[in-house]
Amino acid sequence: MPDLPNGPHGKWRTTWGIIQNPRRLFNKCVQQFGDPFLMRAINGNVVVTDRPDLVEQIFRADPDTFSVFASEGIRPILGAGSLLMMEGPPHRAERKRVAPPLHGDRMKAYGEAMQSIALATGRNYSDGREFTGIRLGTEISLDVILQTVLGADSNQLMNEFRHSTRGVLDRSLPILFFSPKTQFSLLGFSPMDRLRVVQAKLREQIKQEVQRRGDSIHSREDILSILARPTESDPEIDFEHLADSIGTLLFAGHETTAVSIAWSLYHLHRNPDWLDKLRAELDQCDMSPESLAAMPLLRAIVQETLRLNPIVTEVLRTLTRPMELGGYRLPTGFSIAAASCLTHYDESIYASPETFDPGRFIDRTYTPSQYYPFGGGNRRCVGAAFATYELAIVLGTLVHNYRFELLDKVPVVPRRRNVTMGPSTGVRMRIIPN
Ligand code: HEM
């Protein structure tokens, strides 16, 4: 059995291709080298596949087969206490603590807030001025996640955290995630120095907020209070760890959803037939958050948007032991990637894959290795249920209450934002005033 598949040479060129347009590069590689193929990038050697049988093998493997991808490059940015960086038993324990507010009845309790935030944000843009779907989506999803994670009970608290969370995101340049070499310090002016300043501010705010809450953290149900509670293994609050953890949830919990809101508005307004069908469905709905989240077409539109535009284009893991994959014997230290941006366009699974067709999700389901916008296995997105719930409520509320006009007249394409990919123009729109 050969050790490694073939792939392109030239680390920097390959890395640039992944930053610019992973789908185009991966497609070329499959054609030239077969599936799986090898990417030699500046953050490591990665064997990429889009074959559902191999994706299934990756998602079903013993979690100890893997460690976090490119952790030495990403850990300095997200911090060792970020769920995305944790491994083994501490990772499992942290997921158990974070998950309950993001599922079931506790999640549904946020439905009304999601709806009223969407309504109020739409109202702010109802004067006919131009805006981007990303901006609208960000304002909505940031407020939703702040309320969920912080249980924010005052406007002042919301304002402070809005500002600092956006600051961190705005300064998270893509290149910082790809190469530790770019994380140098230069008299306070390098990209990493500038990121550190806003991160320190957010950390301090988190610490002050926990101290302000005092004993009430024991009775509150928000994620910040839950994670700040002492445990048997950690009787004292570790503010560094807590700030890493909260920072990741704020970041992962709103950027992705914001981008999805923008893409869904884009696809609906490029495909007015589906928009009309959605309006007809919403006319039959009592518009309660719970009912919205159960609307078949609305749910299918959310799923189809995430199929066409997976926000994270590949799911990455690094091998802690050798693994046989697709006829190759991959060594420890190599990484593997399940490329959703290719699997989601596999013609043998999805007919006319380039077409926006939510109908393919009605009365039909796909296996976790055919459709995986939220990743898979033991690291599958902990916010997946929450995000799907939020997207249906927000999109349904916006479309039912406002008439949008898409101002982008040419196709919008995916472009790198940081670890995520988003629409190149942000999706330029306006709300047609009543
Ligand atoms: C449309 C919205 C979202 C998308 C497309 C998305 C996608 C993803 C993906 C692809 C992963 C990596 C999974 C893997 O490695 O197998 C991930 C991980 C994660 N996501 Fe999401 N996500 C979304 C929303 C959210 C929300 C709302 C939250 C929090 C409330 C969240 C929190 C996280 C966290 C903490 C992880 C790390 C999980 C771990 O390593 O154990 N995400 N997400």
- CATH number for the domain harbouring residue 128: 1.10.630.10
Query: Phi, psi (5° rounding) for residue 313?
Result: -80, -15
What is the C-alpha separation between 17 and 21, in angstroms, rounded? 6
Q: Which domain holds residue 207?
A: 11-431
Q: If residue 262 lies in a helix (H) or strand (E), which one and from where to where?
A: helix 239-270
Looking at residue 335, what is its pLDDT? 96
Cα distance between residue 30 and residue 382, in whole Å:
31
Q: What share of the chain is helix, strand, coil (3-state, %, to 5)?
A: 55, 10, 35
Total number of domains in the chain:
1
Which of 56, 114, 256 is the pocket-test mutation for ligand 1 (most atoms within 8 Å of CB)? 256
Tell me, yes or no, whether 318 lies in a domain: yes
- Whether the CB of 381 sits within 6 Å of ligand 1: yes
The rounded distance, in Å, linking the Cα atoms of 114 and 100 is 18
Angle at the Cα of 391 from the Cα atoms of 261 and 63, rounded to 5 degrees: 105
Regarding the beta carbon of 81 and ligand 1, being less than 6 Å apart is answered no
**Residue 133 in contact with ligand 1 by CB distance below 6 A:** no
The residues, any chain, with a CB within 8 Å of residue 200's CB and separated by 6 or more, are: none
> Is position 82 within any domain?
yes
Q: Is the CB of 387 under 6 A from ligand 1?
A: yes
Q: Answer whether residue 121 is part of any domain.
A: yes
Q: Cα separation of 180 and 173, whole Å?
A: 12
Residue 5 counted as domain residue: no
From 157, 125, 158, select the one nearest 142 (Cα to Cα).
158
Local mean pLDDT, 10-residue blocks, the chain (434 residues): 87 90 95 96 92 98 94 84 92 90 90 95 96 97 92 85 88 76 82 89 92 91 88 82 91 92 98 98 97 97 98 95 96 96 97 97 95 97 96 98 96 87 96 88
Residue 57 lies in a domain: yes
Indicate which atom in ligand 1 lies nearest the CA of residue 390.
Answer: 27
**Distance in angstroms (rounded) separating the CA atoms of residues 25 and 150:** 40
Q: 381 labelled as ligand-binding?
A: yes
Paired strand residues for 429: 131, 406
Find out whether the beta carbon of 79 lies less than 6 Å from any atom of ligand 1.
no
In a domain, residue 1? The reply is no
Residue 112 lies in a domain: yes
Whether residue 210 contacts residue 239, with contact meaning beta carbons closer than 8 Å, is answered with yes
| Residue nearest ligand 1's atom 41 by CA | 379
How far is the C-alpha of 81 from the C-alpha of 199, rounded, in Å? 14
**Is 6 domain-assigned?**
no
Q: What whole-number distance in Å separates Cα of residue 76 and Cα of residue 244?
A: 10
Rounded-to-integer distance, Cα 76 and Cα 393, Å: 35
From CA 202, how far away is CA 160, in angstroms rounded?
9
**Ligand 1 close to Cβ of residue 249 (< 6 A):** yes
Per-residue confidence (pLDDT) for residue 182, from 0 to 100? 84
Q: Which residue has the tokens 């939510």?
A: 358
Q: For residues 311 and 420, is the Cβ–Cβ distance under 8 A?
A: yes
Contact partners, residue 177, CB within 8 Å, separation at least 6: 70, 73, 74, 77, 418, 419
Residue nearest atom 20 in ligand 1 by C-alpha distance:
381
Nearest CA to 4 among 392, 295, 231, 325?
A: 325
Q: How far is the CA of 402 from the centre of ligand 1 (A)?
A: 29
* Integer Cα distance of 46 and 375 in angstroms: 17
Structure confidence at residue 1 (pLDDT): 66
- The SS3 call for residue 255 is helix
pLDDT at 72: 82
